Chain A
Amino acid sequence: ETGVTQSPTHLIKTRGQQVTLRCSSQSGHNTVSWYQQALGQGPQFIFQYYREEENGRGNFPPRFSGLQFPNYSSELNVNALELDDSALYLCASSTQQGAYEQYFGPGTRLTVT
């Protein structure tokens, strides 16, 4: 197991609502990346945070936003939820050195009804 934790494990929301997902990075890691994995698909990169700043973004609309805190933990916020937002949301922590290897958490399963 990695030292990356995510909460909550499962979440059910209604279309139009807002949701916040949380991630605690592995000790010594200063970078957090978020991915969305729809059923039967590979994960898609949402964005990355390094030292509390967004450090790269995938092809996701602005209603997907994030934060990173001084302790390097992170939040993913999604506004105006749509049915297609139903997915497994994965966070990964890493450093900005060496192989940039990312260590993944267990994920949060979000269901939008």
Chain B
Amino acid sequence: KQEVTQIPAALSVPEGENLVLNCSFTDSAIYNLQWFRQDPGKGLTSLLLIQSSQREQTSGRLNASLDKSSGRSTLYIAASQPGDSATYLCAVRPRSNTGKLIFGQGTTLQVKP
């Protein structure tokens, strides 16, 4: 059974700091992995999607990496800003069932001015 874990559950950093969020998954048979952002009480905004054949994806200050063999992904945020404060969720799409996403519990990030 695929399980997704995100550590830490919460993180507080001063503005301008570079930071890394971690995501691990137990079954390497994935189709792709996706990182989302969620503001309190809101829906999910897709940040980056990495196909299983890819190693990383970049968008602006965000960089996501994928190491399928070790079951790990990281989301790197450069030069953090208070507007980056949100919950970040990673989700894997199993190869056996591309119709669903399996989510971690998220990392809640606070960037202090």
Contact = CB atoms under 8 A, between A and B. Distances in A.
A37 B24 CA distance: 20
12 contacts: A42-B4, A43-B103, A45-B101, A99-B32, A99-B51, A100-B93, A103-B46, A104-B43, A104-B45, A104-B46, A106-B42, A107-B41
Nearest to B36: A104
Contact of A104 (B44, B98, B104, B105): B44
Which of B91, B101, B106 counts the most A-chain CB atoms under 10 A from its CB?
Answer: B101
Q: Please classify the interface of chain B as helix (H, G, I), strand (E, B), loop, or mixed, using the class held by over half of its residues.
A: strand
A55 interface: yes
Interface string B25-47: 00000011010100001111110
B113 interface: no
Give 10 closest A-B pairs by Cβ, nearest first. A42-B103, A104-B44, A45-B100, A106-B43, A56-B99, A48-B99, A104-B43, A42-B105, A100-B98, A107-B43
A107 B42 contact: yes
A44 B101 CA distance: 8
B89 interface: yes
Contacts of A42: 4, 89, 91, 103-106
A47 to B, nearest CB: 9
A41 B105 contact: yes
B43 A58 contact: no
A99 B97 CA distance: 13
Interface in A67-113: 88, 90, 92, 99-107, 109
A30 interface: no
Interface in A23-42: 31, 33, 35, 40-42
Contacts of B31: 100
Given A42-B89, A90-B43, A100-B93, A58 B105 contact: no
